[in-house]
Amino acid sequence: MCYTVTIKQRVIVMSVSFLIRTFTLGVAGLVTIAGAMLMIGSAQAAENEHRHGQGSLQILQAENQWQLTLSLPLDDAFGFEHAPETDEQKSQIRHFVVQAESFDTFIKMQGNCSLQGATVNLPWPFYADGEPPRRSENAHNERMHEEVHAHKDVEAVYQIGCEEAIESITVNVPAISPSLVSIDAQWATEKGQGMQIITPNDNTLFLRR
């Protein structure tokens, strides 16, 4: 299995650049949640800068469907910021992917919810079955190009179905990464919008406040 980056749609409205996701809601078809995000505020008007020790979590709700997107610096997720070169580094990535895809290792939603899909996106191809990535003859130049141009983040996207209202979400920050200091969380639900900084000691989002 090969994990690769997927391209997301970016929408800029009133100088607010925010990642807008689309996801399928059964018979309701394809729903795009955009208008609600305009109320989230100007504190994060620009794209979040890449900072070690700082991640982001975006939460969207439409009816009983939720989408959560967790983004982390590669250094915090794996301990390195380049494509894996050793068996140990490949093992670290495989371990993270398994943990991330289980969802409730990292995040717990209060209520009767079930994971419907999980995708882990990396800034370069990675073969979970051990197949080696393509290496060019000029590996040094390829590596330099990769380090300059790669978005040094790993992203986990979750599709969640919940049978009842969700009022809180708890994030296990140390389980995600011991070096993670904070996670900037933003949400837009049917109850409202908000933002909060998650830390190891303050790790529960109360979505109605």
Q: One digit per residue, pLDDT tens: the chain, 209 residues?
A: 444 433 333 322 222 233 334 444 443 433 444 444 444 443 443 444 557 799 999 999 999 999 999 999 999 998 888 888 889 989 999 999 999 998 999 999 988 899 999 999 988 776 555 544 444 444 444 454 444 444 578 999 999 999 988 989 999 999 999 999 999 999 999 888 899 999 999 999 998 65
Amino acid (1-letter code) at residue 63: E
Please give the torsion angle defined by the CA atoms of residues 127, 128, 131 and 135, in that order, rounded to the nearest 10 degrees: 30
Domain residues for the domain of 34 are 2-134+153-206
Residue 146 lies in a domain: no
Q: Read off φ and ψ for residue 54, nearest 5 degrees.
A: -130, 125
Considering the domain boundaries, does residue 45 fall inside one?
Answer: yes
The radius of gyration computed from the CA coordinates of the chain, to the nearest angstrom, equals: 18
Identify whether 139 is part of a domain.
Answer: no
Q: Check if the beta carbon of residue 159 is closer than 8 Å to that of residue 117.
A: yes
Looking at the structure of the chain, the number of domains it has is 1
Residue 102 domain flag = yes
Q: Would the pTM of this model clear 0.85, i.e. be above it?
A: no
Residue 62 lies in a domain: yes
Does any domain span residue 14? yes
Is the CB of residue 126 less than 8 Å from the CB of residue 3? yes
Domain membership of residue 77 (yes or no) is yes
Q: How far apart are CA 59 and CA 185, in angstroms?
A: 8
